[in-house]
Structure 1
Amino acid sequence: MDVYQEAVCYLESQHVPVEAETGVLEEDVFQEEAVSCLLSPLLPKSLDFPDTPTLSSPEEMLERRLVVLKGILESEEVYLRELEALLMPMKALRASAGTSQPVLSSRQVQTVFYQVPELRDMHQSFFSGLKARLSAHCQTEPGPGVEGEMSYTGFELMVGDLFLKMVNQIGLYGGFIENYEEAVEVVRKCTHSDPRFRTLAQSMMSNNSSDKTRTKYTFEALLYKPLDRVTKTTLVLRDLLNTTPMEHGDYTLLQEALRLSRSFLSGVNESSQCKREVTLSHGMRRQLMRDGFVVDASEGERSLRHLFLYTDLLLCTRFKQATRGKQDQYRFCWYLPLAGLKLRWVADQERSLDANLRLHTIRTKMHLLRQQLQQNAKGSKGLALAARSRKKLEQMELMLLTHSPVYTLELHSPSCKSHTLLLSSLYELEEWREAIHKLTTDIENEESLCGTLSVAIHSACGLQQPACVYVCVEVDGYEFYDKQAQTHSSVHSLNPHWDQELSFQVDGAQHLRVFCVSQSDGQDDTVLGKASVKLESKTLNKRWRRQTLHLSQVEVTLSLKYCPHPLEPPSSTAQQQPVFGVPIETVAQQEGVLVPHVVRCCVDEVERRGMGEVGIYRISGTTSEIAMLKTAFNSNLREAVTRLRSAEVNAVTGVLKLYFRELPQPLIPTVMFQSLARMLEIQDINSRLVSMLSLLHSCPDPNRHTFLYLLHHLQRVSEKQDVNRMSLQNLATVFGPSLIRPPVVGLGQDGPTVDISQEVVVQVQVVLYYLQCNNLPEAQTSLPHDTDAEDETTHM
C-alpha cells in the first residue's frame, strides 16, 4: 500500500470521506476533531441540527416556547425512568457483594453505578421543579376567548433558574464519562462470565408511564443513556433560547446555562483528546505534533490554510467557519509524507508598493471599524450595526493574515510534489521548521527519560489575594502513558499547601510543564502562571531534588525524583485506590504522605468555615451527603475536595469521623489500650505525661502524626468554645470511641481486660488527657523529601 492510499485509508478510518476522481482528491467536508484524530464521543452528528425557524412575533415565540418546555418535561420523565431502571438492581448487587458467591464485587458495583444515583437525584429535582411551574402556569393561563394580554402570559413563566441550577451541577457527568469505559468493560466481562449477571444485563425493564407497558433494555444500553443525555442538554437549551424573546426574564439565565453546557462539553472533549491514540496499518503510532494557520502560496495565489503536522505526514486543510448552530468544518487540500521531505526557507526582501498600499488600506479600515464598535458599545442602539461591523472586522483580519506574511517555507517531497507556505513571523517559521526537521531526521534523543518520574507538589506563595488553587503537571514524550495529573484544589488561602505526590510512567520525556490554576465557584478557572523544566537524567536520580519555580506572580515549590527502568506495556488507567476502610499505613504509602489527604482536607475545610458552628463535630450531617463525599474520596480526590467546599460543614465533620470509625485498626493501636488504661491511674502528673507521650512515640509514623494533627486541630476548635460550645471534654467524648478501641475478648490479648462499663471512660479520658497537654509534639503531614543540594529556583 503506497503512502497516498494509506493516508486515504487513515482518513476514512476516522470517518473522513475522501473520494478520488481523475487522480485529484475532491474537497470533502470533515469535522475538526476528525482532522485531529481526536474526535470525542460527546459531539455526535446529532448536534448538527437545523436552526429553529425564526418566529416573527413574541406571541408566536412564547407559544412555541411552551411546546418546547412540555417536550423537555416529557423527555426528562422518560430519562428518569431509564435511570431508575438502571439503578433497580444496585441494592441487590451490593448486598450480594458481601456474600460468599457475589455476582459483582463491591468494587465492581461501585464502578458500574458510579455517579448514577447523583445524576438521578439531580434530574429528579429539575423535573419536579419544571413540572410544578408548568402545571401552575397551565392552570392560570387564560382561556381561548380572552383577549388583550393573553398572548403575553408566557412572560410570567420563569424556568431559567431551574436550567441554570441543573447545568451548574453538570460536572457530575464528568465523573460518569471518565468512568464510562471501565463500567462498560465490567458489564461486558461479567455478562460473559456469570450466567446470573447475563440474565440481569439482558433484561432490564422500564415502565412506560400511564399505558403500563414496559420497555426492555440491555444493561449496556442503559449505561449509554447519560452519555446521550448530556449532549442533548445543549440542544434543548439552544432550542429553548431560540424561542425565548430577548426581553424575557429567562433570556440571560438561559444564555449563561447554554454557555456553561457548551463549555463543559468542550472541556470533556479536550480531555479526551489527550488520551486517544491512532495506530496505522503498518503498526506505527500516529500523533498530532503541531497545528496552526499558515498561508499557502502553492497555486499561484495566497490562501489561508490550517496545517496539521503528524508524526508521519503534513495535512493541509481549508477552514470553513460554522454557520449558526453548526460545527466548524475543514476541507481537505493536500498532504505530504514526511519521509524524505526537504525544507528550504527564505525571507522576501521587501513587499511591492501595491502590496504595502493594500495592507495600509486594510489596517485603516480595521482601525475605523474598531472605533465604530467602541462607539456602538456605549450607545443603546445599533446591535445589528455592531454585528455587521464585527463581521467586517473579522473579514479584514483574515485578509491581513493572508497578505502580510513575508517569510517563505518551501517543502519538497521525493515524489516531486512541492508546496510553498508563507508566515508572518520568523519565530513561528523556525518552530515549524524545527518540528518538521526533528520528525524527518528521526533522531533518538539519548537524554530523554524512560521510567518513573515522581513529582511532589509542596506549596505556593505570592498570591495577590486568597484563592482556591490547584497545580497541573504535564510531561512530554510518547503517548503510550498518561501524561497529565493534577493536585486537589487547596482551601481558600494566600499560601496554599498540598504536599501531594504525582507519579508518571514516562517514555522519551524531555520536559516537565507546571501550571498553577485558580479555581472560582461559578467562573472559569484562571491560569496564574506556567513554567517548563528541562528534564535531564544526569541531574535526576532516586533521591528527591527540590526546586522552586517562579511562575509569573506565583512561586511553586516541588521535588522531583526519577527511577530509570524498562517499561511495561501500557494498561488501562487504574482507578484511585479507596481510602475508607483501608489501613492508614496503606493509604499513607499510596499517597506518599504521613497524614492522609482525606483528614487534612476535612480539617482545612472545618477551620475555614466551621470553627464558629454551634455543636461542630457533635451535630451530625446529612447521611446521603456524607455517603456522597465518601464515594468521591474513594474514587477521585480532586473531585472530592471540590465537593467538600460546597457541602454542609456538618457533613464535612461527618466524613472525618466516619473515616476514623471505619479504620480496620484504630488510630491508637488496640494493643496499647490496656497500657493507656493503667497510665491513667498514675498519680504523679509529670510521670503520667512522660509515659503517655512515650507510648505515643511507639505508634507507627502515620498513626502518630495523624493523631497529633487531629489533636492540634481539636485544640484550635476548643479555643472557640464560647461560640461553638465544644469544650475539650465534649470533643474527647465525640472522638474517644473512634480513635481508641479496647481489645476483642478471646483474641489472645495479654494482660487483664478492662470492664466493659469502663471502656468508654478510658477512651474519653485518654483523648482528653492528650488534648489537655500544652506541649504536644508537632505533626508532620508529609514524608521528608530530602536532597543533598540546596533548593534550586527556576524563574520562568
Structure 2
Amino acid sequence: MDLYQEAVDYLESQHVSVEAEVDALEEEDVFQEEAASPLLSPLHHETLDFPETLTLHSPEELLERRLVVLKGILEAEEVYLRELEALLMPMKALRAAAGTSQPLLSSRQVQTVFYQVPELRDMHQSFYSDLKARLSAYCQDEPQLSEEGETHHPGFELIVGDLFLKIVNQLGLYGGFIGNYEEAVEIVRKCSLSDERFRILAQSMMTNGSDNTRTKYTLEALLYKPLDRVTKTTLVLRDLLKTTPAEHKDYPSLQEALRLSCSFLSGVNENSQSRREVTLSHGMRRQLMRDGFVLDTSDGERSLRHLFLYTDLLLCTRFKPASRGKQDQYRFCWFLPLAGLKLQWVAEQERSADAQLRLHSIRTKMYHLRQQLRQHTGYLATRNRKKLEQMELMLLKHSPVYRLELHSPSGKSQSLLFSSLYELEDWREAVHKLTTDNLETVPPDLLTLTSACVKLRMTQQPPLHSSHDGGDEKGLCGTLTVAIHSACGLQHPACVYVCVEVDGYEFYDKQAQTHSSVRSLSPFWDQELSFQVDGAKELRVICVSQGDGQDDTVLGKAAVGLDANTLNKKWRRQTLHLGQAELTLSLKYCSHPLEPPSSTTQTQPIFCVPIDTAAQQEGVLVPHVVRCCVEEVERRGMAEVGIYRISGTTSDINSLKAAFNSNLREAVTRLRSSDVHAVSGVLKLYLRELPEPLIPAELFQSLANALDIADMNSRLIPMMSLLQSCPDTNRHTFLYLLHHLQRVSEQQEVNKMTLLNLATVFGPSLLRPPVVGAGQDGPTVDISQEVVVQVQVVFSYLQCNNLPEAQTSLPYDTDSEDETTHV
C-alpha cells in the first residue's frame, strides 16, 4: 500500500471503529525529523502516546498538553521553512543562467522544477508568523477570573483554529505541486546525468539549522519535503484536536480543518509516481539489506521489536500479527540514519539470583512441554506447541546479555539487546559496512517505509525453534564438548578470549567463554567448554580481544556445522580461520538422553580440593589457577623486587580466591588489574591449601634420604625417578611451576629472588611429611629438619638444567586428520 492510500485509509477511519488505527498513529513517530527536538515535536511518541481511554481528564491537563503540541508544530514549521528556503536558493541563479549560452536548465525546466514552491513558502511563512505571535502573546497572559469568580485557564483564550483553517483552505497549492512533482524529479535526474555542473549542485544542497549546524541534502530530497508536509498537516490536526477540550472555541474550527484536509488527501491521484523512493546522493536507491527480531530498551523495558536495516538508515518497528481477517501490520518505533552512526557493544552485568531463578523456571517448563510434544499428537500437541512458543518468547525477552548501543551525531541514542554475540556482530558488521560509505541520509517517508515492511521482511517471525516442523530431530542430542586450544596470526599482542555458542532448543545454557589469555601474539587456553544440547546443528565461535579500559573488539568469527555422523566420543580437531586469527579447537560429542536442566551452572570450587579433582573438572593437567597466576606474574612481575617473598593484601587475595571458586573468566579478568603481589599470593595460597601436597607425602622420606647424596648429578637421578612416580596432574603441575621459578631467578639481579630464596618460599607448600596417626605409622620428623628437607628438595629440583617439559593439558587424540575451516 502506497503513501497516499495509507494516509487516506487512516484518516477515513475517524468515521468508523478506530480501535487499531488510533493505536497505530498514537505510537507512530512517522514524521519525526532526526534533528527535531523530542520535547517540542508534536509527533514524538512520548508526547502523543495517548491511550484509547484518555487519562488526561481535566481540561487544564489537556490544555497544557495542547501547548506542547502547538510549540512542536511551530518548531516543525521553522524546520520546514528552512528546507523550502534551501530549495529555492539556486532558483534565481538557474533562471539567470537560462538566458546565457551555457544554461544548466532552460527557463521552462526552471519553472517546472520550482513550480509552486515560492507560493508554498509564502503560505507557510504567513502561518508560522501568525502562530508564533499568538503563542508569544499567550505566554505573557496571566490567569483570569471568570464571571463566577473562579480562575480561568488562559489556554481557553488561545485561539489558533482560524489559522489552521486558513492554511488548509490553501492546500490546493499542494495539488499543483504534486501533479508537477514527477516531471520535476525527472528533469533533476536527467540533467544530473548529462551535466556535471548541475549534478554537483543537485547533490550539494545545504540547510542551516537553528544551532548554526549545516545539513546536506540532494535537490531531489528537498523536492520531496512538500509531499511529506502535506500528509503531516492532517496528522498534526488530529493530534491538536485530541488535546483541545470540546468546549474550547477552537474545537469546531479544527474539526472543519481536519475534514477539509481529509477531503484533499482523498482526491489525490493514487497512481501518481510521487510515492516512489528517492535516490540517495551517491546514486543508490534505498534498499532493505537485513532484518530480524531484537530487544529494544528505548522505553526503559525490554520490548521485542523487528529491526530493518536499509541502505541509509535503521528502522525499528513493532510487529502486529494479523487478526480477525486483517493483514499483518507494523507500527513505527524509531529510526536512525546511518550517516555518522557510532556503534558500541558491551556485555551486561552478571544476572541476579532472581533472574537466574526465573530463567531456570522457564527452561524447566520448556523442557517438560517438549517432552510432552514428543508423546502426543493432534489437538494436545497443537496446544503444547503454542505454550512452548509462548515460553520461548519469554526466554527471548529475559536471556539477552549483550547490549549494542547506537549513537547518532544528532545526540539520539538507542540500545538493543542480544542473547548471541555472534548475531550482534553480524548486525554490527552489516551497519559498519554501510556507514563506511559515508552515506548522506535522505529523510524517509516513514509511513510508506513502515507499511512496506510486511512485503519486504526477510524474517517472518522471532527465532522460535518450536515453530520448526521436525527439523530438530536431525540435530545433536546429548553432550557436546569443545576444547579451545590456541590461536595465532594476531597482528598485535592482545588479551584474547573465545566465546562459543550452540543452537537448538534453549533448555540449557547455549553459550560459554574461555578466560582471557595473557597478552600475546599467540594466545593459549587449552580450556574445555561443555554443552547439553537438544537439536543442535551449528557451532559458532567468536574470538574477542579484551581491551585495557577500552571496548572489547571482535577479531573474527566462524560458524561450524554439527553432524552426529562425523562426531563421536573421540576428539575431532579443527582449525578455524576467522578474521585475523587462526584458532585451533577440538570437538567431542556423546549422544544420550537428556536430564531436566539443573538449577545452577556455577563452577565447582577449586581451592581446598584435591588437585586431580580440580584438573579433571577443567579437563587439563595443570589447573587454570596455576597457569593464569604464572602467566600474569611473568607478564608484569618478573622485575618486581621480592616477588613471591612480599605478600599482597589479605583482602585482595581472598577476593581473587572467591572469584576463582565461582567464575574462572571473572577471576582472570580481575587478575589482570590486581596488584602483582596479590596474584603471587593467590598462587601460594592455592598450593598451601591443597588437601594433599603437590609432592605426595609418602615420598617425603625417600626424598630426604636422597639429600644425603653429596654429588648433585647423582642426587637428581633418584629424585627424578621419584618425581616420575607422582600422579600425572601433580607431576606436570610441579614441573610447570619449576620452569617458571627458574625463569624468575634468571632476573635475580633485578628482583633479588635467587633459586634458594624461591625454594625457601615454596618448599613448605610443595612438600610435607606424612601425618602420623589415623592408622598411619612412620618416623617422626623434627620441625627444623622438616623445613630443611622441604627447602633443599625444591632447591635441588630447581638446580636441574634438563627438567622434563610440563604438559598442561590432556592429549586430544583424534580419529581423523585435522580439518581446517576457512571463514
> Are residues 795 and 741 of structure 1, via their aligned partners in 2, closer, same or farther at CA, if it must alter by over 3 Å?
same
User: Is the 8 Å Cα contact of residues 472 and 504 (structure 2) preserved in structure 1?
Assistant: no
1:286 aligned residue (383, 389, 394) = 389
> Are residues 400 and 698 of structure 1, via their aligned partners in 2, closer, same or farther at CA, if it must alter by over 3 Å?
farther
Is the radius of gyration larger for structure 1 or structure 2? 2
In the alignment, what sits opposite 1:546?
573
Q: Please tell me whether residue 677 in structure 1 is matched to residue 707 in structure 2.
A: no
After superposition, give the CA deviation of every residue in 1:28-84 in whole Å (9 maximum; x if it has no partner): 8899xxxxxxxxxxxxxxxx999xxxxxxxxxxxxxxxxxxxxxxxxxxxxxxxxxx
How far apart in 2 are the matches of 1:747 and 1:659?
25
Shift of 1:433: 6.8
Shift of 1:437: 12
In the alignment, what sits opposite 1:396?
443
How far apart in 2 are the matches of 1:752 and 1:490?
46
Shift of 1:756: 2.3
Shift of 1:590: 0.6
Map residues 478-493 of structure 1 onto 2, 5 A cutoff.
478-493=505-520
Q: Please tell me whether residue 27 in structure 1 is matched to residue 54 in structure 2.
A: no
> Are residues 489 and 30 of structure 1, via their aligned partners in 2, closer, same or farther at CA, if it must alter by over 3 Å?
farther
In the alignment, what sits opposite 1:176?
none
User: Is the 8 Å Cα contact of residues 674 and 753 (structure 1) preserved in structure 2?
Assistant: no
In the alignment, what sits opposite 1:87?
none
In the alignment, what sits opposite 2:545?
518
In the alignment, what sits opposite 2:455?
421
User: Is the 8 Å Cα contact of residues 688 and 766 (structure 2) preserved in structure 1?
Assistant: yes
2:610 aligned residue (583, 593, 596) = 583
Letter in 1 for 2:759: A
Q: Please tell me whether residue 457 in structure 1 is matched to residue 484 in structure 2.
A: yes
Aligned with 1:421: secondary structure? helix
> Are residues 661 and 534 of structure 1, via their aligned partners in 2, closer, same or farther at CA, if it must alter by over 3 Å?
same
Instruction: Name which of structure 1's ranges 663-672 and 22-31 shifts more when overlaid on structure 2.
Output: 22-31
Letter in 2 for 1:702: T
> Are residues 396 and 673 of structure 1, via their aligned partners in 2, closer, same or farther at CA, if it must alter by over 3 Å?
same
Aligned with 2:693: secondary structure? coil
In the alignment, what sits opposite 2:526?
499
Aligned with 2:474: secondary structure? coil
User: Is the 8 Å Cα contact of residues 595 and 705 (structure 1) preserved in structure 2?
Assistant: yes
Aligned with 2:485: secondary structure? strand
In the alignment, what sits opposite 1:605?
632
Aligned alpha-carbon RMSD (Å): 4.4
How far apart in 2 are the matches of 1:470 and 1:571?
26
Letter in 2 for 1:396: P
Letter in 1 for 2:443: M
How far apart in 2 are the matches of 1:510 and 1:641?
31
In the alignment, what sits opposite 2:736?
709
> Are residues 542 and 745 of structure 1, via their aligned partners in 2, closer, same or farther at CA, if it must alter by over 3 Å?
same
> Are residues 774 and 462 of structure 1, via their aligned partners in 2, closer, same or farther at CA, if it must alter by over 3 Å?
same
Aligned with 1:664: secondary structure? coil
Q: Please tell me whether residue 474 in structure 1 is matched to residue 508 in structure 2.
A: no
How far apart in 2 are the matches of 1:695 and 1:752?
19
User: Is the 8 Å Cα contact of residues 648 and 677 (structure 2) preserved in structure 1?
Assistant: yes
How far apart in 1 are the matches of 2:414 and 2:675?
41
User: Is the 8 Å Cα contact of residues 515 and 527 (structure 1) preserved in structure 2?
Assistant: yes
How far apart in 2 are the matches of 1:638 and 1:370?
34
2:676 aligned residue (638, 649, 671) = 649
How far apart in 2 are the matches of 1:519 and 1:630?
22
In the alignment, what sits opposite 1:112?
none
User: Is the 8 Å Cα contact of residues 712 and 796 (structure 2) preserved in structure 1?
Assistant: no
Shift of 1:552: 1.5
In the alignment, what sits opposite 1:534?
561
Letter in 2 for 1:707: F
How far apart in 1 are the matches of 2:780 and 2:396?
74
How far apart in 2 are the matches of 1:438 and 1:579?
37
In the alignment, what sits opposite 2:594?
567
How far apart in 2 are the matches of 1:558 and 1:520?
23
How far apart in 2 are the matches of 1:744 and 1:49?
77
User: Is the 8 Å Cα contact of residues 474 and 483 (structure 1) preserved in structure 2?
Assistant: yes
Shift of 1:625: 0.6
In the alignment, what sits opposite 2:772?
745
Aligned with 1:285: secondary structure? helix
How far apart in 2 are the matches of 1:466 and 1:506?
35
> Are residues 27 and 664 of structure 1, via their aligned partners in 2, closer, same or farther at CA, if it must alter by over 3 Å?
same
Shift of 1:755: 2.3
Aligned with 2:480: secondary structure? strand
User: Is the 8 Å Cα contact of residues 448 and 509 (structure 1) preserved in structure 2?
Assistant: yes
How far apart in 2 are the matches of 1:436 and 1:770?
59
Shift of 1:682: 2.4
Shift of 1:752: 2.9
User: Is the 8 Å Cα contact of residues 49 and 326 (structure 1) preserved in structure 2?
Assistant: no
User: Is the 8 Å Cα contact of residues 644 and 680 (structure 2) preserved in structure 1?
Assistant: yes
- Report the identity percentage: 66
Shift of 1:778: 0.6
User: Is the 8 Å Cα contact of residues 556 and 581 (structure 2) preserved in structure 1?
Assistant: yes
User: Is the 8 Å Cα contact of residues 674 and 754 (structure 1) preserved in structure 2?
Assistant: no
> Are residues 285 and 695 of structure 1, via their aligned partners in 2, closer, same or farther at CA, if it must alter by over 3 Å?
same
How far apart in 2 are the matches of 1:498 and 1:681?
41
User: Is the 8 Å Cα contact of residues 671 and 749 (structure 1) preserved in structure 2?
Assistant: no
User: Is the 8 Å Cα contact of residues 660 and 667 (structure 1) preserved in structure 2?
Assistant: yes
User: Is the 8 Å Cα contact of residues 389 and 466 (structure 2) preserved in structure 1?
Assistant: no
> Are residues 634 and 730 of structure 1, via their aligned partners in 2, closer, same or farther at CA, if it must alter by over 3 Å?
same
User: Is the 8 Å Cα contact of residues 586 and 812 (structure 2) preserved in structure 1?
Assistant: yes
In the alignment, what sits opposite 1:83?
none
> Are residues 397 and 457 of structure 1, via their aligned partners in 2, closer, same or farther at CA, if it must alter by over 3 Å?
farther
Structure 1: runs of 5+ lacking an equivalent? 1-20, 32-47, 51-230, 233-259, 291-307, 311-320, 330-366, 375-389, 406-418, 424-428
Instruction: Name which of structure 1's ranges 653-662 and 518-527 shifts more when overlaid on structure 2.
Output: 518-527
Letter in 2 for 1:402: L
Shift of 1:521: 1.8
Structure 2: runs of 5+ lacking an equivalent? 1-16, 29-45, 49-299, 302-341, 370-382, 398-407, 417-433
Aligned pairs, number: 451
How far apart in 2 are the matches of 1:267 and 1:30?
31
> Are residues 601 and 398 of structure 1, via their aligned partners in 2, closer, same or farther at CA, if it must alter by over 3 Å?
farther
How far apart in 2 are the matches of 1:469 and 1:547?
19
User: Is the 8 Å Cα contact of residues 49 and 325 (structure 1) preserved in structure 2?
Assistant: no
User: Is the 8 Å Cα contact of residues 475 and 511 (structure 1) preserved in structure 2?
Assistant: yes
After superposition, give the CA deviation of every residue in 1:653-695 in whole Å (9 maximum; x if it has no partner): 0000000010011101111111111111124544422211111
In the alignment, what sits opposite 1:625?
652
Letter in 1 for 2:522: N
> Are residues 398 and 637 of structure 1, via their aligned partners in 2, closer, same or farther at CA, if it must alter by over 3 Å?
farther
How far apart in 2 are the matches of 1:463 and 1:49?
51
Letter in 2 for 1:284: K
